[in-house]
């Protein structure tokens, strides 16, 4: 028996916050495109992280979405913050976050950023080379430093090891050099790559860090920080390890593979906390057939909000829905979905099933769109990024079906 006959609403692809279901979004009396974030989902994700990893303090990697509403929500619910630039630190200062509580985990920083962050009270800096240590010693003398370690990140969608990370064999000499330069050898960090697909990557990296920590004891160096970095995956369409599965791998590793437990075990979740909390709404602006292939042109492309769709050779599969009546029940066609710009590489999806009758003026809803969308977005070719909107939490806690006035307020301030 079909959903239409039973009266049930077709199931949305998982994950999709109930507050952002398409029939709830239809009440928004604002023009597309927009990106609407449910702050209550952000709070729930933070709670899930801390429940799965007790004793691990989350420092939000704000580069993936630095919206003040999100930062304030995480601040109010006990999260710490990790920055990659002085500009990000200044955003936190405007929200009343003490720089002394912030981690600066970019391994290569402009000297002026180091000096200004140090002057503001930030005292913990990441590094991955002797050159960076000397830069920190000159611009933030006496600071605590933690080594970015090169680890296996081949199971991630976005490996980072080509650009950052010291080899394990270099770690001992670098941390002892830090002490000779008058810095405080403080800890080790690593990153298993963004959107890591295997929980075992963290266990392997913890084991490597533990070996380094043990070797440093002979030098009288006892580290105070182990930072598990980021990489905690969000759900799009493909299955990924749950945060509970990652926790079940990490917690025993911390107990079994470290020679002692540092005073601070940290992590830098970003995508995990915010991706699934937001939905992007974009209108169809054109429908064409090219060489027998069905194309949809929509008002947001890779350059103004959907950059990750063209960063991975295999593409990036977001959950999609539409405003077409009966979506989930009606006949579909495979579509190539492309952006509004005159750049032919601005094409986001290929072969995605959407209602066969979708046409100009209909809306495509893109789920799990809260991470690395607006933070990457530009106004390339004159097409503006989506308007950021917020519901729940600091947006006023309005019911999903009575959001219009709150959303108008969010839209009028640009959500920033």
Q: How confident is the model at residue 398 (pLDDT cuts 50, 70, 90)?
A: very low
How far is it, in rounded angstroms, from Cα 335 to Cα 68?
36
pLDDT score of 344: 84
Cα distances from 284 to residues 58, 276, 339, 365, in angstroms, run: 39, 23, 10, 11
Q: Which of 105, 80, 56 is nearest to 262 (CA)?
A: 56
Whole-angstrom distance, CA of residue 85 vs CA of residue 95: 16
Are the C-beta atoms of residues 15 and 243 closer than 8 Å to each other? no
pLDDT at 394: 54
DSSP codes joined into one string, 374-413: TTT---GGGPPPPEEEEESGGG----GGG-HHHHHHHHHT
Query: Residue 124: is its pLDDT beyond 50?
Result: yes
Take residue 274 and report the two structure tokens written for it: 């915010």
Tokens 């079909």 appear where?
A: 2
Q: Which two tokens mark 105? A: 């985990």
pLDDT tens, position by position, 235-293: 988 888 899 999 999 999 999 999 999 999 999 999 999 999 999 999 999 999 999 99
As a whole-number percent, the residues of the chain with pLDDT over 70 amount to 89
- Is 24 an annotated catalytic residue? no
All domains of the chain in start order, with CATH: 12-37+275-412 (2.40.37.10), 66-269 (3.20.20.10)
Burial class of 265 by CB neighbour count within 10 A (0 to 12, 13 to 18, 19+): buried
Q: Which of 24, 64, 196, 342 is catalytic?
A: 342
Q: Are 136 and 146 in contact (CB under 8 A)?
A: no
Return phi, psi of residue 250, to 5°.
-75, -45
Residue 58 is inside which H or E element, if any? strand 57-61
Maximum CA pair distance of the chain? Answer: 75
pLDDT at 76 over 80: yes
What is the residue-wise DSSP string for 256-283?
A: HS-SS--SEEEE---HHHHGGGEEEEEE
pTM above 0.85, yes or no: yes
Please, where are the H alpha helices in 168-306?
Answer: 168-180, 200-216, 243-256, 271-274
- In the block, tokens 């270099």 appear at 170
Give the model confidence (pLDDT) of 302-336 as tens digits: 999 998 888 876 667 899 999 999 998 999 999 99
pLDDT in tens, 24-40: 898 898 999 999 999 99
Place 225 in a pLDDT band, splitting at 50, 70 and 90: very high
Q: Are 145 and 125 in contact (CB under 8 A)?
A: yes
> For 98-126, what is the mean pLDDT?
98
Beta bridge partners of 189: 148, 227
Nearest-angstrom CA–CA distance, 211 and 258: 7
């Amino acid at each position: 028996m079909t959903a239409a006959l039973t009266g049930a609403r077709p199931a949305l692809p998982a994950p999709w916050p109930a507050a952002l279901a398409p029939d709830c979004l239809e009440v928004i009396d604002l023009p597309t495109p927009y990106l609407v974030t449910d702050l209550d989902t952000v709070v729930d994700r933070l709670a899930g992280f801390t429940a799965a990893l007790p004793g691990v303090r989350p420092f939000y990697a704000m580069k993936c979405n630095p919206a003040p509403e999100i930062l304030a929500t995480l601040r109010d619910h006990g999260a710490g913050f990790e920055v990659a630039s002085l500009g990000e630190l200044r955003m936190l200062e405007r929200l009343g976050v003490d720089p002394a509580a912030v981690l600066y985990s970019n391994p290569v920083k402009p000297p002026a950023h180091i000096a200004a962050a140090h002057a503001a009270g930030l005292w913990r800096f990441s590094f991955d080379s002797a050159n960076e240590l000397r830069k920190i010693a000159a611009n933030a003398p006496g600071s605590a430093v933690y080594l970015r370690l090169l680890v296996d990140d081949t199971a991630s969608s976005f490996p980072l090891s080509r650009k950052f990370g010291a080899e394990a064999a270099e770690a001992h000499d670098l941390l002892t050099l830090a002490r000779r330069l008058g810095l405080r050898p403080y800890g080790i960090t690593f990153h298993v790559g963004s959107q890591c697909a295997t929980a075992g990557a963290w266990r392997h990296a913890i084991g490597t860090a533990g070996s380094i920590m043990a070797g440093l004891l002979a030098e009288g160096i006892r580290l105070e920080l182990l930072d598990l970095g980021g990489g905690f995956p969000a759900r799009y369409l493909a299955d990924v390890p749950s945060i509970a599965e990652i926790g079940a791998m990490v917690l025993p590793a911390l107990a079994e593979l470290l020679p002692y437990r540092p005073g601070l075990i940290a992590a830098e979740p970003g995508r995990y906390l915010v991706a699934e909390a937001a939905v992007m709404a974009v209108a169809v602006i054109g429908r064409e057939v090219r060489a027998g292939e069905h194309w949809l042109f929509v008002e947001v492309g890779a350059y103004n909000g959907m950059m990750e769709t063209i960063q991975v050779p295999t593409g990036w599969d977001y959950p999609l829905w539409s405003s077409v009546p009966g979506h989930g029940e009606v006949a579909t066609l495979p579509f190539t979905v492309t952006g509004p710009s005159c750049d032919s590489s601005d094409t986001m999806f290929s072969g995605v099933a959407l209602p066969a009758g979708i046409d100009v003026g209909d809306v495509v809803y893109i789920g799990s769109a809260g991470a690395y969308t607006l933070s990457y977005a530009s106004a390339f070719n004159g097409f503006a990024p989506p308007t950021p909107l917020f519901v729940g939490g600091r947006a006023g806690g309005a019911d999903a079906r009575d959001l219009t006035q709150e959303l108008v307020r969010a839209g009028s301030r640009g959500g920033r």
